[in-house]
Structure 1
Amino acid sequence: MINSTYYSSPIGEILLVSKDNNLIGAWFEGQKHFLSTINEELMENEDEILFKAKSWLSRYFSGEKPNINELDLKPEGTDFRCDVWHILCEIPYGETVTYKEIADKIAQKRGIDKMSAQAVGGAVGHNPISIIIPCHRVVGSDGSLTGYAGGLDKKIFLLKHENPEF
């Protein structure tokens, strides 16, 4: 069964989705790829993981730095996308990395010379668990703020929320 509930954040409604007591989705209303990994009907029901996710987000937006490991995350995607999302989970609060840096890590992990930063960008853009898996912390090689599935205004808000000097 796929459970869902909404969380009202300072930057918009977020649909939280769980399956088998794992968080599998957190999308801003109307964002790109909204519900793209869900093939079953949603049941509005706040189970334990959704309750924890709402608490995690409330603490995050109140200025705390909740640990991502507090939540059982199980984003659904290809092995490549899951590898990218795992790297996103390692980006420290208030810091950023580039698509190229992630591509270099993936290449090293896979034992290949080079990985496309553009392919990494596609995986980052399809992250199904916004904010919690911090795809907003990825920037262009020159530090530019490239796209964000939830909207560039939300990315800017999140980066400034974590680091006011950004």
Structure 2
Amino acid sequence: METAFINSPLGITKISGDENGISVISITSDAMEISSEIPETLTEAVSQLNEYFDGKRQDFTFATNPSGTEFQQKVWKSLLEIPFGKTMSYLDLSKKLGDVKAIRAVASANGKNPLWIVVPCHRVIGTDGSLTGYAGGLWRKKWLLEHETPSNQQSLF
């Protein structure tokens, strides 16, 4: 497993993976040294993330290989279907997965998403439209949603 640390508008981003794909993309507020060299297995992910932050990319095409339970994988796959610039409530996501009563399990799986931004857990909001639950901090969730919203709006939240 190889790891690189890059700068992003939201803090230091950690990217880990190998020849089978990227397994972890996370954000940290800790002071980490930015990688001076990016391992070859991570270069495409780094490039695409930089394009996303520059407003030049809406989806990701590099190989991923996240670890999780079968249920978590199912939730993460559903998150990939939420279009750029759109949101979905935890309740609607639970309904989409076929079990409205699984809302807490869906929220838990969403919170354990190991591929920050790429699997867009930030696009899941409360039923009332509120920003709720985000491992990276609600201010980051707000930033990401505003970054993905057309510029003709002042602010979503």
For residues 3 and 115 of structure 1, the distance between their equivalents in structure 2, rounded to whole angstroms, comes to: 39
Match of 1:50 among 26, 32, 42: 42
1:105 to 1:45, Cα distance in 2 relative to 1, 3 A = farther
Unaligned 5+ runs, structure 2: 31-35
The answer to whether residue 58 in structure 2 is matched with residue 73 in structure 1 is no
For residues 21 and 73 of structure 2, the distance between their equivalents in structure 1, rounded to whole angstroms, comes to: 15
Residue type at the aligned position of 2:102 = S
The answer to whether residue 153 in structure 2 is matched with residue 159 in structure 1 is no
Tell me if the contact between 2:91 and 2:100 (Cα under 8 Å) persists in the aligned partners.
no
Q: CA deviation at 1:45?
A: 7.3
Residue type at the aligned position of 2:46 = K
Corresponding residue for 1:41?
none
Q: CA deviation at 1:114?
A: 3.7
Corresponding residue for 1:94?
85
TM-score w.r.t. the length of structure 2 is 0.86
Tell me if the contact between 2:15 and 2:24 (Cα under 8 Å) persists in the aligned partners.
yes
The answer to whether residue 55 in structure 2 is matched with residue 63 in structure 1 is yes
Q: CA deviation at 1:102?
A: 1.2
1:98 to 1:89, Cα distance in 2 relative to 1, 3 A = same
Residue type at the aligned position of 2:50 = S
The answer to whether residue 95 in structure 2 is matched with residue 117 in structure 1 is no
Tell me if the contact between 1:4 and 1:45 (Cα under 8 Å) persists in the aligned partners.
no
Tell me if the contact between 1:49 and 1:71 (Cα under 8 Å) persists in the aligned partners.
no
Q: Give the percent of matched residue pairs that are identical in Structure 1 and Structure 2.
A: 38
RMSD of aligned alpha carbons? 1.9
The answer to whether residue 118 in structure 2 is matched with residue 132 in structure 1 is yes
Corresponding residue for 1:27?
26
User: Which runs of 4 or more aligned residues in structure 1 lie more than 3 Å from their structure 2 counterparts after TM superposition?
Assistant: 44-49
Q: Which has the higher contact order (CA 8 A, sep 6+)?
A: 1
Corresponding residue for 2:132?
146
Where 1:87 maps in the other structure, the secondary structure is helix
1:48 to 1:21, Cα distance in 2 relative to 1, 3 A = farther
